Amino acid sequence: MRKRFFKICVPIGAFSLFVSLIFKNMTDFTKGYFEGMAISFITVGLIYYGYCLIKRQSSYTR
């Protein structure tokens, strides 16, 4: 379950960044929330991919 969550962190972060860039008429708080969430998810996903690279295991296998 945890690996499945880490695998989808980068796409979730990219989607929330896309939403914040598309809807420019959002309030500053909402836009900041989506951008912060995007940065957090992308960072967690990249750390997981780096961990898998160091351990020399595929991040897409169980």
* 60 backbone φψ class: left, alpha, beta (φ>0; ψ -120 to 50): alpha
Q: Which residue has the higher pLDDT, 60 or 13?
A: 13
Measured distance CA(62)–CA(60) in Å, rounded: 7
Q: Tens of pLDDT along 3-30?
A: 777 778 888 899 998 988 898 888 989 8
Domain count of the fold of the chain: 1
Say what the pLDDT of residue 38 is: 92
Decide if 21 is inside a domain.
yes
Decide if 14 is inside a domain.
yes
User: 62 is written with which tokens?
Assistant: 């169980």
* Residues 13, 39 contacting (CB under 8 angstroms): yes
Q: Which domain holds residue 20?
A: 2-55
- Structure confidence at residue 61 as a pLDDT band (50, 70, 90): low
Decide if 36 is inside a domain.
yes
Say what the pLDDT of residue 52 is: 84
Decide if 61 is inside a domain.
no
Half-sphere exposure of 27 (CA within 13 A, CB side): 3
Is the overall model pTM greater than 0.85, yes or no? no
Decide if 17 is inside a domain.
yes
